[in-house]
Chain A
Amino acid sequence: DDKLLSEPLSHPDFFNVKELFSLKDLFDARVHLGHKKGCRHRFMEPYIFGCRLDQDIIDLDQTMQHLQLALNFTAHIAYRKGIILFVSRKRQFCHLVESTARECGEYAHTRYWQGGLLTNAHVQFGSGVRLPDLLIFLSSLNNVFEPHVAIRDAAKMNIPTVGVVDTNCNPCLITYPIPGNDDSPTAMELYCKLFRMTIIRAKDKRQQSEVFNELR
Chain B
Amino acid sequence: LRLMYTATAMQSKNVGASGPEKYTEAFIKKQIEEFNLGKRHLANMMGEDPETFTQEDIDRAIAYLFPSGLFDKQARPMMKHPTEIFPEQRKIQWGEDGRPFHFLFYTGKQSYYSLMHETYEKLLNVQKYQDQLTAQDHLPQKEKRNLVGSRWLTKIELEEMLLEKLSDDEYSRFIQLLQKLMMLPCGDIEEKYIQKFSKEVPVQLQKVVIEPLKYDERGVAFSTGEGTRKTARATAVVYDNGTGKITVNGIDVLHYFPVLQDREQLLFPFQFLDRVGKHDMVCTVSGGGRSAQAGAIRLASAKALRSFVTEKEVEFMRQAGLLTFDPRVKERKKPGQEGARRKFTWKKR
Contact = CB atoms under 8 A, between A and B. Distances in A.
Contacts of B121: 95, 99
A111 B107 contact: yes
Given A81-B97, A95-B121, A132 B106 contact: yes
Contact of A128 (B8, B94, B104): B94
A42 interface: no
A95 B94 contact: no
A157 to B, nearest CB: 13
A102 interface: yes
Interface string B22-66: 000000000000000000000000000000000000000000000
Contact of A114 (B7, B99, B103, B108): B108
B174 to A, nearest CB: 13
B92 interface: yes
Interface stretch (B11-19, B77-85, B227-235, B290-298): B11-19
A81 B104 CA distance: 18
Interface in B105-126: 105-109, 113, 117, 120-121, 124
Contacts, number: 72
Interface string A106-145: 1111010010010000111111111010000000000000
Interface string B70-95: 00000000000000000000001110
A107 B103 contact: yes
A123 to B, nearest CB: 5
A109 B100 CA distance: 13
B98 interface: yes
Contacts of A127: 8-9, 17-18
Interface residues on A, range: 20 to 34
A98 interface: yes
Interface in A30-75: none
Given A122-B9, A127-B18, A130-B98, 17 more contacts: A81-B97, A81-B99, A83-B99, A85-B106, A95-B117, A102-B103, A105-B103, A107-B103, A107-B104, A109-B107, A111-B109, A117-B106, A117-B108, A123-B9, A123-B12, A126-B17, A126-B92
13 contacts: A101-B103, A102-B103, A108-B104, A109-B104, A109-B106, A109-B107, A117-B106, A122-B9, A123-B7, A124-B16, A125-B16, A127-B18, A130-B100
Interface of B: 7-9, 12, 14-18, 92-94, 97-100, 103-109, 113, 117, 120-121, 124
The 4 A-B pairs with the shortest beta carbon distances in the complex, nearest first, are A126-B17, A130-B98, A102-B103, A127-B9
